[in-house]
């Protein structure tokens, strides 16, 4: 095994320790290895270097703040060519959830999801990939 050393803020460390308890991991190393493997399996470049996919991206954000909504709209406009559909739902008075169906290359869909997830005010985001397999005729 190779040792990695990471630094995180106090809140992230606390949240990670709570996750470890909920999931029943024996220690931080076991939890980190599991999460890293899971992330690497989701990485499109490692499993599907070429080809197209359909992706379902869902995330929440605070709809009472004008800046997050504006920034999200700008990102969505940059990726308009791969957006198939969009559904926006009010979860609470100050929270909305958006679900986007995306179609394009794995790299394009992943770049879109990364841009959305990288916004500070976005929470609870998840991307699911489904490869498009073309049948030979």
Q: Give dist(CA 57, CA 108) in Å, integer.
A: 13
pLDDT one-digit tens code per residue, 80-118 = 999 999 999 999 998 999 999 999 998 899 899 988 887
pLDDT at 66: 76
Cβ atoms of 62 and 119 closer than 8 Å:
no
In angstroms, how far is CA 62 from the centroid of its own chain? 17
- pTM of the shown model: 0.64
b/e sequence 3-14, b meaning 16+ C-beta within 10 Å: eeeeeeeeeeee
């Amino acid at each position: 095994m190779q040792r990695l050393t990471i630094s995180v803020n106090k809140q992230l460390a606390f949240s990670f320790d709570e996750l470890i308890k909920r999931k029943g991991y024996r220690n931080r190393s076991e939890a980190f290895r599991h999460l890293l493997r899971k992330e690497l399996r989701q990485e499109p470049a490692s499993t599907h270097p070429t080809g197209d996919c359909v992706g379902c991206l869902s995330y929440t954000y605070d709809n009472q703040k004008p800046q997050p909504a504006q920034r999200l709209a700008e990102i969505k406009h940059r990726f308009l060519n791969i957006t198939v559909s969009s559904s926006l739902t009010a979860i609470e008075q100050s929270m909305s959830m958006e679900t986007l169906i995306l179609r394009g290359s794995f790299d394009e869909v992943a770049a879109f999801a990364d841009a959305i997830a990288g916004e500070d005010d976005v929470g609870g985001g998840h991307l699911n990939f489904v490869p498009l397999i073309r049948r030979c005729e």
